[in-house]
């Protein structure tokens, strides 16, 4: 009998890896639902390839176009994730992947948990802004959570068989992005194309810019704190240019565990799907050259000033994390629109994150998903008033 699964937002880059893996393992999985915002042509092709009968298209214009062009198809098209309640029964799904971009991914994530035995969440914003809501649903429905980001999946595998209370410190790595060792003078001259050239990973524009500013690492520390129930003081960032080592943990007894693999997202995805199946993944052998030339070092806040924001974050889950995500999204968008330069991008994120009008949310907690969306709208309104 096939295992059932669901993919949300099947047209983002990380899911291409998953789709390619599933093509080689069609006998083991049955895809029950695919979704997209606007790229309905791509998702309809995927549905045809995998005989998928349910598709969610959240963009209304794209939904109407798809409905018109495929009105004689046996594929059921939906315009909202509320359809999940109609399609599935409780615990019907073996594995669900949530990879919707932005805070908009939180609602479908919460909707899917009760139907899934295992849920893989790629969406950073959900894990940062709505972790307390996600954790509540995971516990309520006894759903197993699997992080997919290379750093967090590595920590997950290192800590999986270890009691959390004997973990002393955890270390996540950062390549340093395209501007490692750049001087302030050089930073002033960088272009958008320069910022998009990540040395090791092929990513979308937004996450590439976050990697260049190192804001993505701020977010990953918040995720790690949430997922593994740690304090910020227990999490350190190491610069590792090759992206070969992804995580290190130090135990109270002095033992240090290191997890490494090539910078290829198919590795955490494959292992999240087949962790107990003992199937062989065609991958590179141990790279001794990289192991013998690690050159690990602690990240410098002088080189990457946004890392300083971690000092101001509360250990409790608060609405301030939503503020931080929204501020970053807003100014990255302005940067990609060429309305500000790279130095201004970093400065604006710093200044607005420390604004009194936003700092007050450090003491407020999200009780429901609507609280998060409301704060997002509030922050965007305030930032729009700046006239940038």
pLDDT band at 17 (very low <50, low <70, confident <90, very high): confident
pLDDT at 66: 93
Shared-domain flag, residues 111 and 172: no
Specify whether the CB–CB gap between 269 and 148 falls below 8 A. Answer: yes
Residue 9 has pLDDT above 80, yes or no: no
Shared-domain flag, residues 17 and 141: yes
Shared-domain flag, residues 176 and 42: no
Domain count, the chain: 3
pLDDT at 2: 61
- pLDDT average, residue stretch 175-201: 89
Greater confidence, 216 or 15? Answer: 216
Shared-domain flag, residues 294 and 238: yes
The DSSP element (H or E) to which 31 belongs, if any, is: strand 29-36
Tally of CB atoms within 10 A around 381: 9
Model confidence over 155-170: pLDDT tens digits? 999 986 566 788 999 9
Shared-domain flag, residues 271 and 331: no
Nearest alpha carbon to residue 290 among 237, 239, 244, 238: 244
pLDDT at 201: 75
Task: Report the mean per-residue pLDDT for the chain.
Answer: 90
Shared-domain flag, residues 299 and 158: yes
Shared-domain flag, residues 285 and 140: no
pLDDT band at 224 (very low <50, low <70, confident <90, very high): very high
Nearest alpha carbon to residue 96 among 60, 123, 78: 123
pLDDT at 27: 80
Residue 88 has pLDDT above 70, yes or no: yes
pLDDT at 199: 80
pLDDT at 1: 52
Residue 13 has pLDDT above 70, yes or no: no
Shared-domain flag, residues 164 and 304: yes
The CATH number of the domain holding residue 92 is 3.40.50.720
Shared-domain flag, residues 292 and 331: no
pLDDT at 328: 97
Model confidence over 144-155: pLDDT tens digits? 999 999 999 999
Model confidence over 355-375: pLDDT tens digits? 999 999 999 999 999 999 999
Q: Are β-strands 245-251 and 167-174 bridged in parallel, bridged antiparallel, or unpaired? A: antiparallel
pLDDT at 12: 66
The residue among 293, 313, 333 that closes a domain is 313
Residue 67 has pLDDT above 70, yes or no: yes
The residue among 109, 130, 147 that closes a domain is 147
- pLDDT average, residue stretch 4-17: 70
CB-based contacts of 50: which residues, under 8 Å, 6+ apart?
22, 26, 31, 34
Shared-domain flag, residues 237 and 163: yes
Q: How far is CA 329 from CA 3, 376, 377, in A?
A: 37, 10, 12
Q: Using CA atoms in the order 362, 313, 12, 90, what is the torsion angle rounded to 10 degrees?
A: -60
Model confidence over 90-140: pLDDT tens digits? 788 999 998 888 888 899 999 999 999 999 998 899 999 999 999 999 999
pLDDT band at 299 (very low <50, low <70, confident <90, very high): very high
Alpha-carbon gap, residue 87 to 32, rounded angstroms = 9
Nearest alpha carbon to residue 272 among 21, 2, 16, 9: 21
Alpha-carbon gap, residue 237 to 245, rounded angstroms = 12
pLDDT at 245: 96
Shared-domain flag, residues 105 and 85: yes
**Residue 90 belongs to domain spanning:** 3-147
Shared-domain flag, residues 164 and 143: no
The residue among 267, 294, 313 that closes a domain is 313
């Amino acid at each position: 009998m096939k295992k059932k699964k669901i993919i949300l937002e099947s047209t983002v880059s990380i899911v291409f890896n998953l789709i390619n893996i599933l093509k080689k393992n069609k006998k083991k999985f049955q895809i029950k639902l695919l979704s997209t915002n606007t790229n309905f042509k791509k998702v309809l092709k995927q549905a045809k390839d995998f005989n998928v009968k349910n598709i969610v298209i959240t963009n209304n214009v794209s939904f109407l176009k798809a409905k018109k062009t495929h009105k004689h198809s046996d594929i059921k098209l939906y315009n909202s994730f509320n359809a999940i309640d109609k399609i599935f029964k409780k615990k019907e799904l073996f594995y669900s992947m949530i990879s919707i971009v932005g805070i908009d991914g939180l609602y479908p994530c919460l909707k899917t948990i009760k139907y899934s035995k295992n849920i893989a969440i790629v969406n950073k914003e959900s894990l940062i802004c709505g972790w307390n809501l996600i954790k509540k649903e995971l516990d309520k429905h006894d759903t197993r959570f699997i992080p997919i980001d290379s750093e967090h999946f590595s920590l997950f595998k290192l800590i999986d068989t270890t009691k959390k209370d004997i973990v002393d410190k955890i270390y996540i790595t950062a390549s340093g992005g395209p501007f490692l060792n750049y001087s302030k003078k050089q930073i002033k001259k960088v272009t958008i194309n320069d910022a998009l050239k990540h040395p090791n990973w092929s990513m979308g524009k937004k996450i590439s810019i976050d990697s260049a500013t190192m804001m993505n690492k701020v977010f990953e520390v918040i995720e790690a704190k949430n997922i593994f129930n740690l304090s910020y003081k227990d999490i350190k960032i190491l610069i590792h240019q090759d992206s070969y080592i992804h995580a290190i943990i130090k135990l109270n007894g002095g033992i240090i565990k290191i997890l490494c693999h090539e910078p290829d997202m198919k590795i955490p995805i494959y292992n999240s799907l087949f962790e107990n199946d003992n199937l062989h993944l065609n991958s590179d052998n141990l790279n001794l050259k990289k192991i013998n030339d690690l050159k690990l070092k602690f990240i410098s806040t002088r080189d990457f000033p946004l890392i300083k924001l971690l000092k101001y974050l509360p250990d409790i889950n608060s609405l301030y994390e939503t503020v931080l995500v929204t501020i970053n999204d807003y100014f990255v968008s302005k940067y990609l629109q060429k309305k500000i330069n790279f130095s201004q991008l970093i400065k604006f994120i710093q200044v607005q994150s420390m604004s009194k009008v936003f700092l007050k949310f450090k003491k407020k907690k999200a009780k429901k998903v609507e609280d998060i969306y409301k704060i997002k709208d509030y922050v965007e309104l305030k930032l729009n008033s700046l006239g940038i």
